[in-house]
Amino acid sequence: MVQNLHEGGANHRLTLRVPGWPGFEPGQFVMLSAGACGSVPRTDPLLPRPMAVYRTRQDAQGTLVDVLYKRTGRGTALLAEALPGQQVGLVGPLGRCFELPGSAERALLVAGGTGIASVYELAARLMPRGDLCVLLGAATAQDLMGVEDFAALGVELQIATDDGSRGFLGQVTRLLEAALAGREPGTSRIYSCGPTGMMRRCAEIAVLRDVPCIVSLENHMACGFGVCLGCAAPLSDGSYALVCRDGPPFDASTIAWQGLP
Amino acid sequence: MSGSNALDTRVDLGGIRLRNPVLTASGTFGYGTEFAPFLDLTRIGGFVAKSLTLEPRIGNPPPRIAEAPSGMLNAISLENVGVDAFIRTKLPAIPAEVVVIASVFETEIERYVEVCKRLDGVDRVAGLELNASCPHVKSGGIEFGQSPTVLAELVRAVRSATRKPLLVKLSPNVTHIAEMARVCEGEGADAIALINSVQALEVDVETCRPLLANGLGGLSGPAIRPIALRMVWQASQAVSIPICGIGGIDNGEDAAKFLLCGATAVQVGTRNYLDPAAALGVVEGLEAWGRRQGAKRLVDLVGTLEMPKS
């Protein structure tokens, strides 16, 4: 652990030096064990936490991996209290990556909560080809993550907060509806990551507007590589997909939303 | 088995010859290939594949897992590819030097027998592990492993259906584990494995609902290790067939405790999720312990716990 910054509210930014990091693609994640913090092995909490790879950087000694997270429970509280120099258990990068948009498609990235961390690298990779718009939502201005990083990319950026403390007053999906207004079907593609309600609304808008929509699901998982079978997501054909192995990104039209926890 | 202080780590688990006593537990190691990026499968004793049923199963709705103090609950309901797909597509992907034990689960004795028959002629399968103890399958009602008479009927039926080494994995959700161990030995099991996960419940006080969609689940991880050690010790006092110890093994010293309590081999379970190379660490730690004990053979340390006489 190189750096572990508190960025206001529940937001934290972790920087890890990861020897042998093989590189990653947008949408992939790592399993982080706060339980491995310090020199004494910890068994409580037992399970690692899945977290999106926010971005990576190179310095003279190798690769630095950035992770944005919120302090929401015991695992992330332990992580938040860990100090630079401590070791963190990491397995990854894991999962599949986002399918990139077609050449004629405008990419609309809609993210809320910790889901914002899942789409930063996608925005960075799409920036050179242009034609993308990033829509970020949160309950309040203080809950937003990574806004300055997106702004620094120079992307078209819109923000919505539930209390109006920053940007549009209301849900980020309203910004999506506005962004799609007047556009022909087949000229846009939605990428969505965040609370289930937000992703589900994006999926509904996508159907109404006849636009492809990719959602990046979050779930509890014990392993992250397809073995514990804990992260099952119900599909509309009655089967289950594993978020870790078959996702996290999914075609929104394949998800049985009413069956998600 | 190299260097000046040579230690023989080989063990015989009811006719399954292992290069060392460290296996990985069914349901925590997939079909083996998932772990190939993380560890050399030929360095561990072998692995027990995910439980197989006659037909594929898709498993329970989510949430399927939940955290517990030093452990986790699961209610996966034995999602698996089915026995035929396992033989056809999963087994050929595993290197020939790796010992593979197939785990079998079903809801009726006749179906258990059919799965075992299909595996009986498959050379790559070193042995069968009968899962008599899954605590979260509604269709089975009471667990097979919870009734001595039902367990006896199951082991007898399967024993007559296979010549392969037969392990029976026992449920911990019983009052007298020694009685269940004796039933298995009496019906011709070559070894017993214990314990499976402990039936458990965890609750969300805000929603007033269980954390798992299924309600009940199986508790695994370090939380159950002392229970497992107690049951292995009790079983070892009751039978002379080999025992495979399971329950919250994280490292070599944990494995050593099971050997002391009478286990000839062990299975690493939940730890594989958090640390996919964990089983290798258990092998190395167990060997280091054997050397510290000054043993020539690891098997000489099995059952050497000095328990006070009661």
Q: What is the pLDDT of residues B226-268, one digit of tens each?
A: 999 999 999 999 999 999 999 999 999 999 999 999 999 999 9
Q: CA-to-CA distance for A159 and A137, rounded, in angstroms?
A: 6
| A261 touching B (Cβ < 8 Å) | yes
Helix (H, G, I), strand (E, B) or coil at A3: strand
| A43 touching B (Cβ < 8 Å) | yes
Beta bridge partners of B11: B18
Q: What is the pLDDT of residues B195-237, one digit of tens each?
A: 999 999 999 999 999 999 999 999 999 999 999 999 999 999 9
Closest CA to A167 of A194, A181, A147: A147
Residue A25: which domain range?
3-94
Interface test with B, best of A46, A231, A260 (most B CBs within 10 A): A46
- Cβ–Cβ < 8 Å for B273, B28: yes
Amino acid at residue number B172 = P
| Tokens representing residue B235 in the block | 């079983």
- Give me the average pLDDT of each 10-residue run along chain B (310 residues): 73 98 97 93 96 92 95 90 96 95 93 96 97 58 87 95 97 96 98 96 96 94 98 98 98 97 98 94 97 97 93
pLDDT average, residue stretch A141-157: 94
CATH number, domain of A77, equals 2.40.30.10
Give the pLDDT of residue B39.
93
- Cβ–Cβ < 8 Å for A124, A118: no
| A221 touching B (Cβ < 8 Å) | yes
Beta bridge partners of B217: B200
Give the pLDDT of residue B133.
76
Assigned domain for A47 exists: yes
Q: What is the pLDDT of residues A104-126, one digit of tens each?
A: 899 999 999 999 999 999 999 99
- Cβ–Cβ < 8 Å for A22, A84: no
Q: CA-to-CA distance for B247 and B226, rounded, in angstroms?
A: 8
Our CA angle for B86, B14, B177, nearest 5°, is 95
| Tokens representing residue A118 in the block | 């899942």
| pTM greater than the 0.90 cutoff | yes
Q: Tell me whether residue B152 is exposed, middle or buried, using C-beta atoms within 10 angstroms of its C-beta: 0 to 12, 13 to 18, 19 or more.
A: middle
Q: CA-to-CA distance for A51 and A41, rounded, in angstroms?
A: 21
Assigned domain for A216 exists: no
Tally of CB atoms within 10 A around B172: 24
Closest-approach residue (CA) in chain A for B273: A223
Does residue B134 have an active-site annotation? yes
| B67 touching A (Cβ < 8 Å) | yes
Closest CA to B216 of B51, B74, B47: B74
Q: How confident is the model at residue A34 (pLDDT cuts 50, 70, 90)?
A: confident
Chain-chain contact of B274 with A226 (C-beta, under 8 angstroms): no
Q: CA-to-CA distance for A74 and A72, rounded, in angstroms?
A: 7
Report the gap between the CA of B58 and the closest CA in chain A (Å): 7
| Tokens representing residue B202 in the block | 């965890």
ipTM over the 0.90 cut-off: yes
Q: CA-to-CA distance for B146 and A253, rounded, in angstroms?
A: 44
Assigned domain for A42 exists: yes
Give the pLDDT of residue A86.
87
Give the pLDDT of residue B134.
58
What angle do the packed helices B177-186 and B225-238 form, to 10 degrees?
50
- Cβ–Cβ < 8 Å for A191, A230: no
Contacts of B29 in chain A (CB under 8 A): 227
Assigned domain for A145 exists: no
Assigned domain for A50 exists: yes
Q: What are phi and psi of B60, to 5 degrees?
A: -85, 160
H/E run at residue A175: helix A172-180
Report the gap between the CA of B79 and the closest CA in chain A (Å): 8
Chain-chain contact of B28 with A229 (C-beta, under 8 angstroms): no
- Cβ–Cβ < 8 Å for B290, B301: yes
Give the pLDDT of residue B1.
44
- Percentage of chain A beyond pLDDT 70 is 98
Q: Tell me how long chain B is.
A: 310
| A48 touching B (Cβ < 8 Å) | yes
Give the pLDDT of residue B5.
67
Assigned domain for A144 exists: no
Q: CA-to-CA distance for A193 and A27, rounded, in angstroms?
A: 10
Chain-chain contact of A228 with B28 (C-beta, under 8 angstroms): yes
- Cβ–Cβ < 8 Å for A30, A90: yes
The domains found in chain B, sorted by start residue, are 11-60+77-202+220-301 (3.20.20.70)
Q: Is the model's pLDDT at A210 over the cut of 60?
A: yes
Half-sphere exposure of A173 (CA within 13 A, CB side): 16
Indicate the DSSP class of residue B263: -
Q: How confident is the model at residue A130 (pLDDT cuts 50, 70, 90)?
A: confident
Residues 88-127 of A with CB under 8 A from B: 89, 91
Give the pLDDT of residue B79.
87
Q: Is the model's pLDDT at A38 over the cut of 50?
A: no
Buried b (16+ CB within 10 A) or exposed e, B11-50: bebbebebbbbbbbbbbbbbbbebbeebbebeebbbbbbb
Indicate the DSSP class of residue A205: H
Which region, left, alpha or beta, applies to residue B26 given φ > 0 means left and ψ of -120 to 50 means alpha? beta
Beta bridge partners of A234: A240
Assigned domain for A66 exists: yes
- Cβ–Cβ < 8 Å for A4, A39: no
Domain count, chain A: 1
Assigned domain for A212 exists: no
